[in-house]
Amino acid sequence: GITYLDHAGSALFPESLLKAFTDDLRSNVYGNPHSQNISSKLTYDTIEHVRYRILQHFHTTAEDYTIIFTSGCTAALKLVAEAFPWIPEGTKQPSSRFCYLTDSHTSVVGMRGITASMNVLSVPIKPKEILLTERNRLPAEQQNCTTPHLFSYPAQSNFSGTKYPLSWIRDIKSGKLCPIKIPGKWFVLLDAASYVSSSPLDLGVHQADFIPISFYKIFGFPTGIGALLVNNRIAPLLRKTYFGGGTAAAYLVGEDFYFPRKSIAERFEDGTVSFLDIIALKHGFDVLEKLTGGMEKIKQHTFVLAHYTYTVLSTLKYANGAPVVRIYSNTDFSNPDVQGPIINFNVLDENGEVIGFSQVDKMAGLYNIHIRTGCFCNTGACQMHLGISNEDIQRNLQAGHVCGDDIDLVDGRPTGSVRISFGYTSSFEDAQAFLKFIIATRLSKMDTEIPLQSSVTKLTTESVPDDNADKLSPIPHISDREVRNNSSVTRMTGSWQPPEAEVESIRAALSETAVPTRRRGGKPITVTNIYLYPIKSCSAFEVTEWPVGNQGLLYDRNWMVVNQNGVCMTQKQEPRLCLVNPSVDLKKKIMIIQAEGMDPISISLEENTGKEAVICESKVCSHRVKTYDCGEEIAGWFSMFLGRPCRLIRQSSDMKNKLHQKNTKASTTNISLSLVNEAQYLLINVASILQLKEHISARLEEPLEIEELIRRFRANIVISAPESFEEEEWAEISIGALRFQVVGPCSRCQIICIDQQSGERNKEFLQSLSATRGRKTNFGIYLMNQPLRSSLPDILLVGSQVLPVLKENTEIQPPTSSEEKCSG
């Protein structure tokens, strides 16, 4: 099963929450709360009940706080920035300031964009500086200024789990602490989104002025609803310019007259609120209380897991005494009042060098462990803990790194880290599964035992009750499946055979136009295999010669299988796709699809441009493509074979996928792609395969067939070169008359762990590749082609000579795309 360790990203919802919610919807009719009928009145009353339930959860009442529903914490923060009673620069009064802790979420820092447009200055405050701000206290004669200032800080860092003192609220509002030395009255925005997912918040004691939250962080469902809790003492000062449906008591169309509703909540909730999601919150609170006994028990439960994991993780060492991880924390995980259930770290090698977070993420995926990597929308904390300067951020951007991509190292220095986090549904087994993964991948040759929980912590807590009647909702996960070995997946050749006269003329053209540019001392390099994959992520179709189109090999990855939501399915989610064998018959203009236990089915190669074609848009690795559905018959065939609803779609010629590599030459930027992830072609070298084969065979202690390895890497072109990995030093190649530019290396994903004959997984393959390549998972190179402008078709043939041109700088270039470059 899955080990889910991204509770700081989102909680997991229990099945009973969904059941209670759907039972409610079946039993009641909920209308628009702005209407006056019976069902609408029920909705309005239920929403008001939920407001009271939220206030109760945070130990406060409607006398002190108002609940304004938003789409999430980010929308709540934006509302504060827009509505706060700022006094801009250039007026007779002292101007306002917006101060925020540098260890803040992007959505908090982004508020400065709004304040800047209002001519209000923003000032970042480092965590260490806030403790020194007593020296900023103003003399008594300056404390009567009423200019409003706003200070924002997180109750818990979403990066490291550090809990900042809630006492700051009182100290800043009283003037004991002053973020900066300026006359005025300070208000406090407490970003509680991360904190309230695992800790109780008592607003009766810690009376912040604004508290934004997102409910999916607490319950996991619903995901589109948040709230801003506003202290009623500041609420009347908030300003609002736009007014939407439901917010006006009265207004005129022909004159500038508008009178807002009296209720602060109704005044700021523009339009119809997401009322069914709000109703779901009631069941979220009910289920949470029933399963856990309250937030204090969740706090203790999650902290014990984090404390245990931290203790073991921090003691892991290599044989030379070097630590296995570098943990980024401001605490020693000894007190749940100052540390939340988040552990942030980077994995190191024996020499103390950081192993990139994307490599750790890929390895974790092999063990079905779900973690979070990057900077977690908290650049300030990332810079502080990893020692990344402002100049480094700008240089990394120039190098092609952006937030959320997989470029984890630039000049050997990390651009981010790894984060694990626990929630109320987490278990001791989850912590152990993670630690076993770290030990297996870093200390596999050492006799390392994971200590029991009791041996590393004396903390006691009541764990979350194990309610067998209320298991977690089913999570789509990739499990090893028992599938029969498909011995029928054999080498196949295309049925297309050009006339002999044309073949001879083509070969003559090849010999005349090829430029004999050889690398030094090189033996001849030839093409040994050609594969196309008509259906993305399905089995290979091997040919000895094949026409080349303007998107690569003709019909390569022109089709793909999607789930019931229209999302592309790959072998990562459905390994049995490799057991689907498509073959293309160019003479009959059909594609034949076969699988064991299924009757063969065929579809036409001619594109369906009729009115009956259902045009839809889909995405391949975040890139938009236009496709059309291939019909009910083939959809039923795939659904029956895979045992889940799915459909076959084909790329439409109306909109081709454009090449999205950033380091390509201008002359090739208009080249279009099929449904591939990265480039038109993928090339691998048999010599490189053989070197990898030795390492894997040694680790598995069993022989491997070269054919099996070749198929795992799902290349289009396989060549035989004298030296392993020499292909990574090439800038361009010629194969006969065809010219190819090398786009970059292919960074591999877990698909290479899937046996393409059986669909079975073995995580050793990606681990061995990483070990062989010095922590990298690059294998093979991407190519793009500019077809010859000739009346003759461009043909790629097995046995053709490959003529490479070396790079001027032979260092292997890092990937420039944010996508994981699996071959699909």
Active site residues: 377
Residue 822, Cα to own-chain centre: how many angstroms? 15
Rounded to 5 degrees, φ, ψ at 312 are -70, -45
Rounded to 5 degrees, φ, ψ at 788 are -65, 140
Task: Using DSSP bridges, classify how beta strands 185-191 and 148-154 pair: parallel, antiparallel or unpaired.
Answer: parallel
220: how many CB neighbours lie within 10 A of its CB? 23
**Element containing residue 748 per DSSP (H, E):** none
Positive or negative, the Cα torsion across 264, 269, 273, 279?
negative
**Within 236-294, where are the H helices?**
264-268, 275-292
Burial class (CB in 10 A: 0-12, 13-18, 19+), 217: buried
Round to whole Å and give the CA distance between 547 and 570.
26
Q: Are 104 and 113 in contact (CB under 8 A)?
A: no
Q: Among candidates 562, 573, 715, 549, which has minimal Cα distance to 650?
A: 562
Angle subtended by helix axes 275-292 and 15-27, to nearest 10? 130
Positive or negative, the Cα torsion across 47, 49, 55, 61?
positive
E strands, 91-215, in order: 97-101, 121-125, 148-154, 185-191, 210-214
Q: Among candidates 639, 614, 652, 481, which has minimal Cα distance to 562?
A: 639
- What the block records as the tokens of 784 is 């793009």
The 8-class DSSP code of residue 233 comes to: T
Q: Which residue has the tokens 């602490």?
A: 177
The 8-class DSSP code of residue 183 comes to: S
Q: Which residue has the tokens 């700022």?
A: 86
- The Cα-based distances of 809 to 388, 515, 724, 775 in angstroms read 28, 22, 18, 22
Q: Among candidates 185, 182, 194, 230, which has minimal Cα distance to 209?
A: 230
- What the block records as the tokens of 720 is 């035989």
Q: Among candidates 373, 385, 375, 374, which has minimal Cα distance to 329?
A: 385
Instruction: Give 411-446 as a DSSP string.
Output: TTEES-EEEEE--TT--HHHHHHHHHHHHHHHSTTS
- What the block records as the tokens of 632 is 């009910």
- What the block records as the tokens of 356 is 């990139």
Q: Are 270 and 34 in contact (CB under 8 A)?
A: no
Round to whole Å and give the CA distance between 119 and 157.
29
Positive or negative, the Cα torsion across 711, 717, 720, 721?
negative
What residues have CB less than 8 Å from 548, skipping those under 6 apart?
A: 554, 738, 785, 787, 793, 794, 795, 796
Q: Which residue has the tokens 């984890």?
A: 408
**Element containing residue 260 per DSSP (H, E):** strand 258-260
Q: Among candidates 568, 550, 553, 541, which has minimal Cα distance to 714?
A: 541
Angle subtended by helix axes 357-366 and 764-772, to nearest 10? 150
Contacts 24+ apart (CB under 8 A), 545-549: 545/494, 545/795, 545/796, 545/797, 545/798, 546/494, 546/496, 546/795, 546/796, 547/496, 547/586, 547/793, 547/794, 547/795, 547/796, 548/738, 548/785, 548/787, 548/793, 548/794, 548/795, 548/796, 549/787
